Every structure is written in C-alpha cells, then in structure tokens.
Structure 1
Amino acid sequence: MNSLQERSWWIKNKPDFKKLKKLLSGSFDQLTEESSNQTHKNYLDSFDWQLWQKGEALLFTREANQEGQSGDLQLLSLQGESQQEMPQTLLASPTFWWDLPASGLRDHLQKRLGVCSLEPVISVEEERWLLACRDNEQKIRVRLEVVHREVFRMDAEETPHYHQTFLTCKPLRGYEKSADEALVCLDTLLGKPASPDSPEYLLSLTGLHPEKNLLPSPLPLHSETATETALREAGHQLFAHARRYETGLLFDVDTEFLHQYRVNLRRIRSIFTLLKAALPKEVWQELKPRLSELSKSTNTLRDLDVFLLERNQFMSMLPEAFRPGLKKLFRKVEDERRVAHQQLASYFLSTVYEKNCQWLETFFTEPPLLATPLAVMPVKKVAGQKIWKRYRKICKAGLMITAETPDDQVHELRIECKKLRYLLDFFASLYPAKQNRRHVKTLKRLQTILGDFNDYTVQQEFLLQRLEKDTTSEVDSALHGLITILYQRQVEERGKVMQALQDFSAREVNADFKNCYKKQ
C-alpha cells in the first residue's frame, strides 16, 4: 500500500483522546486537537443517473451554516477517487453543466449530461476534528481526522438518517515511516479498514439502487416466448418507465423529462405497429388511438423546446445586425412555451389522462389472447423475418433517392430507418451483443445524416410558420436570413444522404444482414 494513501476505520463515537494517545505513545510524543469544522456535502447526478452509469459521481462541498457561500465541486469515481487535479470553486451547487465556468470539468459534464439537470441524490452533514501526532520537537508527523456524520437520501421527504463516526489517518510527505507506524497501531485498535467516503458505499448505505430505476438494456426476451406475450411484457416495462418522467415534466425540471417520456411512448407505438398482426384487429384499433392521444398531447411543447434548444446555434449563424430580431422571436416563443406547458400539465392532471393510463396499464398486464398466427409464433422466428424485411425495404427505397427527390420522400425513408432501429433494439437480447452493436452502429451512421437533413427541413417549416405570425420587419429579416442558411445546409446534406444510402446497402453489409437474419 502507498504510505501516502489515506486509510479509515469505523468507530462507535468520538474516540477517547487518552486511549489514542496511549496507543500511539510508542511512536509519537503528543496528540493534539488542531481544529474542528462542519461541512455540508451533496452528491449530484441526473434523474437517469448518467454519471453513475459511467462509474462517476459529482460532489459539492461547502462549510455548513453558510448558505450562499462558495463551495467546491469535484468529480469522483464510484470508489471515491478524484477524477480531476483540483476541485472547482463555485458560488452555488450547479443545476446544469453550463452553470460552471469554462473548464475541463464543464466540458466533461456537457458530454455526460447534455440538457439534463443535476439534482442532489445524497446529502451528508459532517462535523470534523483534526488531530496532530507530534514528535519531541513538536513537528507534526501524521494527521488524524475524526468525522461524525449524518447521511440521508434526497428522493423523498421522509427517509432514514444514518449516523456514523470514523477515523482517518492522513500521512504527510517525508514522514512515510511515521505513517506506517500509526497505521499498524490503528489497525490493532480499530480492526478492518473502511471506505466511508466512496459514493458506491453511500448508495448502498442509503438503499439507493440506480439500476432499479433504469430500463434493462436490452429488454430481456426469450426466443421461444410467444410474440404477443413478449409485446405485452415490453409494453408494460416501457410504459411504466415513461410514467417515471411525469413528475419532472409537471414541475418543468428540464426538457429531457418530456423528451424521454416521448421516446418511451414512441418505442411502444413503434413495436406494436410493426407487430400489430399479433393482436386481433379490434384490439389494435382500440389500442392505437389511446397511444396516439398521449403522444399528440406533447407535440406542441416538444416543438417549442426543440426550437429553443437551438438558440445558441441559430444566433451564431446570423450576422450581429440580425440578432436583435431573433432575440425578440425567442422571447415570444418562450411565452408560448409557458402556455403550452401549462396546458400539458393540466391534461396530465386530468381524469381523462389517468383513465387512459389505467386502461393501458391493464392492457399490458392482461394475459395474452394468442388469437392470431403471429401472436403464437416464437419471438425469435419473428425477429429475423421482420429485421431482414425492413432492411431490404430501406435498400430498395434508397435506390430511388436522387438530387431531385422531394423532401417528404427522404423523410419517409428516415422513418423506415427508425423502424429498423426499433426492431434491432427490441430484439437485441435474442442475438449476440457484438452483432447487434455492429448493425446498430451501421444504421446510426445513416440515421444521423438523415436526421440532420430532416432537422433542416423541419426548422425551415417552423420558421416559415413564424413568418405568418411574427410580422415585424426586424423579426422578418432575421427569419429570412436563417431560412436561407438552413436551406443551403440542407442542399449540402442531400449529397451525404445518397452516399450514406449506398454505404448502407453495400454488398458486404447486405450479406451481413442476410446471414444474420434471413438464414435463421
């Protein structure tokens, strides 16, 4: 063990100084209390535990009883090891990555979190006493720290509070031998070392299990399960996961709550649409509009969110002279967004919404009817047929795309790619993980280019609609300039679309899909 590495032990309460002094008297002449202080710690992560999923945690520490005072922000591994050279001092605990000043940590959190907010998941109140082990010349050779703390989770008003005390040996450079002597004595007195400050330990202590809040990836399927059974089970998991985002959506915590709600609904609608023959026609005709109603209720708010999220990019695309008009437009869209959010929140709190959700929850958990040929087919057999058929459909449609192809036709091709992606994701557990990752990666390259092309189209349509509403000359000039730039970028992207389609339908890719899915 590195002699400069700190080591900690659990103790029942603040140790008896006389007992400690006697224990260490063979190595040190004095044990003195140097200082004491109180600190408040918050461990931060996003609602979907994006840092935890990467083996990381974010810690904000400040002096207790000093609200509004600055604190230190530090990125840790789950084992408690610092992932940065120095903590970053901030005036307050950050809510978003853009609350941090320019730094490597800010860039790192931007990649990890995107538009997701941070929230405290564990809080720790600490009282600390710093002790010094001195020699006969009064030189400090080793420091000891006693910490008494109260630990509790932040996801509910009433949660258990855990009271703990531990002692930490803090070696000093140049006095490694003294540290080794102290460690031997403390091991003898206190027994097995502990890791009290690791986020991993604190999660376990407070009963927080992030994996239980996340969807299994991939969704577990068994090859011989009847297709309708697999559909209902997947629908149940995805719908329950979608509803996790309702509270954050209602309180407008960040835009990702609405986005993830829609993503999970879209996954349900897509797999049921692609496998609708597994249900009797009359059942599907009742299910389809119920799912559609939930999705449509969120469309307006999401459209406004998407536009507002592009604020910085759009501002950078225009010359300075045009930006005041664009700022006016953003302010107006922000007002519209507040109204749209209030309308959606009212719908989510209505009995109409709750009854629809209750119907869907009942449907997903009902025993399967197994009333159609597809319903009883083993899901593995259906998987290969559906994936291969969709791949071939994309390749065939791709041959028709030219420089003159209408945007709507390119958009339809993008939808077909999304359907293939949903199939690959849904059936992923039935195939080797390496194979699935390879095919998803190949498809994602095409989806990214088609998505960029579609974004330019949708953005132009949105701005054209604004021209009909916002008719001041200042706003008009900004909109015309922005539409012109977006159109130019869309034209450039079309050439990439055709090349990406050729790559996706290349002989080796075709042979790979055929071998994996057609010949089962």
Structure 2
Amino acid sequence: MTNAATFWLVTGLMSTTFAAAQHTPHDVATALANAGFVLEPVRTIERTLLDTFDGRLHTAGLRLESRVGHATELVLSGVDTATAVLLVAAAPSVTDQLPAGPFRRRVAEAAEDRALLAVVRVRTRCTSASRRDADGKIVAAATIWEQLSIDGHDGLTMVPCTVEVETLRGFEKHARKTFATLAGLGLAQLDHDTLAEAARVAQIHIGGYPGPSDIVLDPAMLAIDGCCEVLTGLANTIAANWQGTIDETDIEFLHDLRIAVRRTRTVLGEAKKVLPSHMLSKARTEFAQLGSVTGPSRDLDVYIVEWPTYTDGLAPDIVSALEPVRALLRQRQIAAHRELNDALRAPTTTAFVTQWRLWLAGPIDDGDEPAPAAHDPLIDVVAKRIMSAHTRLVEAGRLIRSDTPAEHVHDLRKDAKKLRYLIECFGSVLSEKPRKTFVRRLKVLQDNLGVHQDAEVHVATLREIADELHERGERSATMLAVGQLTERIDQRRRAARAEFAERFAAYDIDDTRDDLERALGRGPR
C-alpha cells in the first residue's frame, strides 16, 4: 500500500468480554455511568476476523481484526504480546498490501504466502466508555457492542450486547472493579471476545480448515470402512479447495487440492483388494485425469514463486534482461490456470465429484462378492501396503546410479510420495513416535528428490522459452541471460543428483525399517 499508515501499540494487557443475555445496552451503559465511566457517542462498526484459509494466524497464537467505521483499523493481538493497531485505507487481502514494518512482519511470518480471508464478520453499534483518575488519566476502559448482526447469518440471534473490558497496564485493580460491576448486574463472563462469540453462534470454526489428517481411525475397524473414511476426508478437502483454486485466491488452494487428489489416487491404488471394483476403476480413471490437469498450473506457480530465488545474486542488468522470460512464464501460468479452471467447471468433472461424494456418504455396496480384504482389520491392510511401498522404494532406489535416466529418478520420487501419503492418510493407526522418526528420514530423501525434479522441469521450461524467444527475435542480452539462468538452475539439479547417493544411503539403513515396523506395531526385526 502506498498510502501513509498510522501505527501504535496498545498498553492493555488483555481484553475480557461479558455477555448481557437479560439486560439491554441501556442497562449496561447506565451501570457503567454509575461506576464513574464517561460514555462516548454511539458509532456503527464492522468487525472482521481475518486469517488464512487454514488458520495460520490462529495456529501461531495471533489474531488479526479489521474494524471499519469512520476509518479502518487493523488490530493485531497475540498471547503475551502487546496489541498493535494500524490505521489503513482498506483491509488487506494479502500481507504485501500492508505497509513495511513490524506489524506486517508479524503477520507475514505466520501467513506466509496465503491470502487473508474474512473468517467471521459482524456489523454492530458500539459505545466506548472510560474512567479517569483525578489527574485525568484513563484507568479503566470498556466498549459496549450492541445490535450484533453476523454477516451471512441473518436468521441467527446473538445476545442483546457484549461488553469488552480492557485491563490497562498498571491499573489492573480498576479492571477488576469493572468486572465486579458487570457481574453484579448479572452479565456472564466469556472466555472469548465478541467476534469469537459470533463465530460460536454461527458455528464457524475460527481455527481454519482442519484438513483430512485430523481423521482418527480405529485400527480394528473394517478395512473398507477405514479406507472410505480417509477418502471422504480427502473428498471434503478437494471440495473445500475447489472454488479457491478457480478464483486463484492464493496458490495454496491448488496445492492442497492437488495433494488431496494425489493422496486419493494413492489410496485407490493400494485398495484394489478392499474397495468394490465397479467404483474403483472409474474413480482411478477420473482422479488420474484430475491429477494430470492440475500439474502444469502448479509447476508454473512454483516457478513464479521461486523466481526471486533463482535470480538472487545475478547482476541487476541480467535480472532486467530476464524480464521477457518472467513475462512469458506469467502468460503461461495464466493460460494453464484458464485450462485448469475450464476442466474444474466442466459438467463431467463436477458430476463425477458429486457422485463420488454421494457414494462415499451412503451405505457401501460391496456387490455380490466383497473385495478379498474388505472386511480385514484396517491395521493389517495398512501395515501390509505401507511395508510394501517402503520395500518398493528401497529396491528402486538401490538401482539409481549417476548415469540413470532422470525419468527413473522422477519415478523414485513418486514412490516416495506414495509411501508418505499412505503414512499421512492412515497415521492415526500407527505408533506416533516411531512414525515421526521414520517420516523425518523419508522427508530428507524427498527434499532431495524434489529439488532435482523441480530443477529438471524448470530447466526444460526455460529451454522451451529460449526457443520461443529466439523465434521472436529477442535481443541478445536476454538470450545470454536465459543461458546464464538455465545454467544456474541446472547446477541445482546436478548438485541434487550428486547428493542423492548420500541421502538415499542415510535412508536405506536398518534403523529406518525398524522404526517403520515399530510404527506398524510389528516391532523391529
């Protein structure tokens, strides 16, 4: 944002909220006035709790609120931290729209590259009240919030009013007196503020979308039931991220949708002896197509995000000469997302996704003959499939040499992902400590394979772009810069390939297999 912004810290230690279920705002205002408070004129305010789709600020113990009245204020608070207030022209949708400084830094560290969305919005009238000592210093502060209307939930009724009391540093006893005044009137103290109360009434989860990994499974449940619960969670994740992907709210919607599709494909691929064949074959085909169409957009999203890293350290004139490349990448990104959106909006796609969720929600029809492992205990099937995936990864990894074609390295990366997805999807039936130890080793290997694959894809893309720019007759400075950038990224690819043997050797040890067997409840060899 280019406009000037005013920033200040609030000296209050915390805010305590009371709800008036049986009293009018006038009753509360009168009680505060009788306690020595001076009330300001009533104002109309729109309060909005802002967070990322997955609740990253909430997870970080932060809370970002927008208050729009005569001006727009952003209020940032957190556990054991001073509350900061920033006066802005408009509420931000991304952290880059905040002015540089400590406020933006705190939000950006938690939100990263995710968009800031409205979690819950309340339109209300408020009355600020304060009490001063003999020197005119404010020793107690409270705000009455009335006529509370939750955006998008017109039929819901909240309490007649709430009162938020600020505990000011050095004047804690005055806050306690105010608490006593409100409690004496019959108001109930809440363990959250007005916005959180609105979210509770509207049944809005303020911690963000939970994701499928929160599903808790019973190891003894039927394998078909466990697989369907996991697939249902993944289907819900796909649905939750569908519109955000189409709207391009932020790139993580596509990422999360793509991961959910990949996990679905992995579960389907490992559930051939669990799920009914009549649904399995169609689902595998449809999700394979969905996975394929999300690939180009995601690759280009990563390229655009990584661009500053790729060009970091290059001379300014080289970075400037590369602008046509970045512009062409952006054009390709736009075209890829347009193609993706057409696919997501296609009637055949939406019909299948709807049919899939309905099938998972209804009674599972095994057909005349259930799949052979459908009624086996879930843990038995999961343990067998995970151990098989690990063995497959190890055997394939041992065949990789310095001259092995890149496609085989890419296939190994897919094997590692499938193993990781199985562990993540069915993690609740595994022993936690050895599972985490195993995943840490696997992740180190995956990171190496990921760097190699990303660089491989990006070098190939750069070479395509170089050919296109050459045909356009692009200036020599740009062509030379493309060559330098290609070489730089290819160095990353070669370095990752050179490190592979060491990374894989660190994974391919007895301790890794022992940890996996402990996680699966089998104990070490």
Taking structure 2 as the reference length, the TM-score comes to: 0.83
Alignment correspondent of 1:461: 460
Cα distance change of structure 1 residues 452 and 159 upon mapping to structure 2, 3 Å threshold: farther
Give yes or no for the alignment of 1:493 onto 2:482.
no
Alignment correspondent of 2:48: 42
**8 A contact 1:242–1:264 mirrored in 2:** yes
Amino acid corresponding to residue 57 of structure 1 in structure 2: R
Give yes or no for the alignment of 1:86 onto 2:84.
yes
Pairing 1:21-32 to 2, within 5 Å after superposition: 24=35, 32=38
Deviation at 1:439, TM superposition (A): 1.9
Alignment correspondent of 2:7: none
Give yes or no for the alignment of 1:436 onto 2:432.
no
Amino acid corresponding to residue 343 of structure 1 in structure 2: E
Deviation at 1:40, TM superposition (A): 3.3
Deviations 1:362-392 (A, max 9, x none): 5444423453323343221122222222223
**8 A contact 1:147–1:166 mirrored in 2:** yes
Partner secondary structure for residue 242 of structure 1: helix
Q: Which moved more, 1:209-218 or 1:89-98?
A: 209-218
Give yes or no for the alignment of 1:59 onto 2:52.
no
Paired with 2:33 and 2:520, the residues of 1 have a C-alpha distance of: 74
Alignment correspondent of 2:263: 267
Cα RMSD of the aligned pairs, angstroms, is: 3.4
Cα distance change of structure 1 residues 482 and 353 upon mapping to structure 2, 3 Å threshold: same
Alignment correspondent of 1:13: 24
Deviation at 1:191, TM superposition (A): 4.9
Paired with 1:131 and 1:517, the residues of 2 have a C-alpha distance of: 60
**8 A contact 2:150–2:198 mirrored in 1:** no
Paired with 1:17 and 1:238, the residues of 2 have a C-alpha distance of: 48
Cα distance change of structure 1 residues 160 and 338 upon mapping to structure 2, 3 Å threshold: farther
Cα distance change of structure 1 residues 381 and 469 upon mapping to structure 2, 3 Å threshold: same
Q: Which moved more, 1:83-92 or 1:500-509?
A: 83-92
Q: Which runs of 5+ in 2 are unaligned?
A: 1-11
**8 A contact 1:34–1:129 mirrored in 2:** yes
Amino acid corresponding to residue 410 of structure 1 in structure 2: V
Amino acid corresponding to residue 110 of structure 2 in structure 1: R
Alignment correspondent of 2:142: 145
**8 A contact 1:141–1:179 mirrored in 2:** no
Deviations 1:12-65 (A, max 9, x none): 3334699548954xxxxx654466655432210122333334444321234x14
Alignment correspondent of 1:385: 384
Partner secondary structure for residue 322 of structure 2: helix
Taking structure 1 as the reference length, the TM-score comes to: 0.84
Alignment correspondent of 2:446: 447
Alignment correspondent of 2:479: 476
Partner secondary structure for residue 84 of structure 2: coil
**8 A contact 2:31–2:181 mirrored in 1:** no
**8 A contact 1:130–1:143 mirrored in 2:** no
Alignment correspondent of 1:506: 509
Alignment correspondent of 1:27: none
**8 A contact 2:462–2:482 mirrored in 1:** yes
Cα distance change of structure 1 residues 56 and 201 upon mapping to structure 2, 3 Å threshold: farther
Out of 310, 332, 342, the position equivalent to 1:336 is 332
Alignment correspondent of 2:97: 99
Paired with 1:39 and 1:310, the residues of 2 have a C-alpha distance of: 40
Partner secondary structure for residue 54 of structure 2: coil
**8 A contact 1:31–1:133 mirrored in 2:** yes
Alignment correspondent of 2:405: 406
Deviations 1:116-143 (A, max 9, x none): 21111222344443445467x6755744
Give yes or no for the alignment of 1:208 onto 2:204.
yes
**8 A contact 2:17–2:193 mirrored in 1:** no
Deviation at 1:356, TM superposition (A): 2.6
Q: Which moved more, 1:169-178 or 1:381-390?
A: 169-178
Paired with 2:522 and 2:163, the residues of 1 have a C-alpha distance of: 63
**8 A contact 1:232–1:368 mirrored in 2:** no
Pairing 1:8-407 to 2, within 5 Å after superposition: 8-11=17-20, 12-15=23-26, 20=31, 24=35, 32-33=38-39, 37-62=43-68, 64-66=69-71, 71-76=73-78, 81=79, 83-84=81-82, 86-133=84-131, 139=136, 142-154=139-151, 156=152, 160=156, 162=158, 164-168=160-164, 183-195=179-191, 197=193, 200-210=196-206, 213-279=209-275, 284-364=280-360, 365=362, 366-369=364-367, 371-407=370-406
Percentage of identical aligned residues = 20
